[in-house]
């Protein structure tokens, strides 16, 4: 596989954690970062794909707009949402109204 050289900036503490994890998996720093990013991007792609399906967005919207559900969830994780965060979240899960799954 062809690779490209990049320069990134991070805290010394983060670099230390990366190096320790890379050693634990017997990987070079570059290989560890590359594999970790590939995994994270794949997860992000899966979320984007799922949330582009209006049926899934409708299910999320229906569940989280029931009285008390969102408040119970945020209470359980120990972090309340600001009004702005709550509105952004509800907008994110709002169905598009097409009822179709994108191709």
How many domains, the chain? 2
Asked if pLDDT for residue 100 goes beyond 60, the answer is no
Q: What is the pLDDT of residue 50?
A: 86
One domain for residues 37 and 58: no
Q: What is the pLDDT of residue 42?
A: 94
Nearest to residue 64, comparing CAs of 42, 85, 49? 85
Residue 43 in any domain: the answer is: yes
Q: What is the pLDDT of residue 95?
A: 84
One domain for residues 67 and 80: yes
For the segment 8-27, what is each residue's pLDDT rounded down to a tens digit? 999 999 999 999 999 999 99
Residue 90 in any domain: the answer is: yes
Residue 3 in any domain: the answer is: no
The pLDDT-based confidence of 98 (bands split at 50, 70, 90) is low
The pLDDT mean for the chain works out to 88
Q: Are 90 and 60 in contact (CB under 8 A)?
A: no
Rounded Cα distance between 2 and 27, Å, is: 18
**Residue 54 burial (CB count, 10 A):** 17
One domain for residues 44 and 74: no
Return all residues near 60 (Cβ < 8 A) that are at least 6 apart: 51, 93
């Amino acid at each position: 596989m062809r690779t490209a050289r990049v320069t990134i900036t991070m805290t010394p503490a983060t670099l230390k954690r990366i190096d320790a994890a890379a050693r634990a998996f017997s990987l070079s720093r570059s290989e560890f970062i590359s594999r970790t990013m590939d995994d994270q991007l794949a997860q992000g792609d899966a979320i984007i794909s799922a949330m582009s399906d209006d049926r899934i967005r409708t299910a999320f919207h229906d569940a989280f707009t029931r009285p008390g559900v969102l408040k119970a969830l945020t209470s359980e994780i120990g972090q309340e949402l600001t009004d702005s965060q709550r509105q952004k979240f509800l907008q994110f899960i709002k169905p598009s109204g097409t009822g179709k799954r994108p191709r």
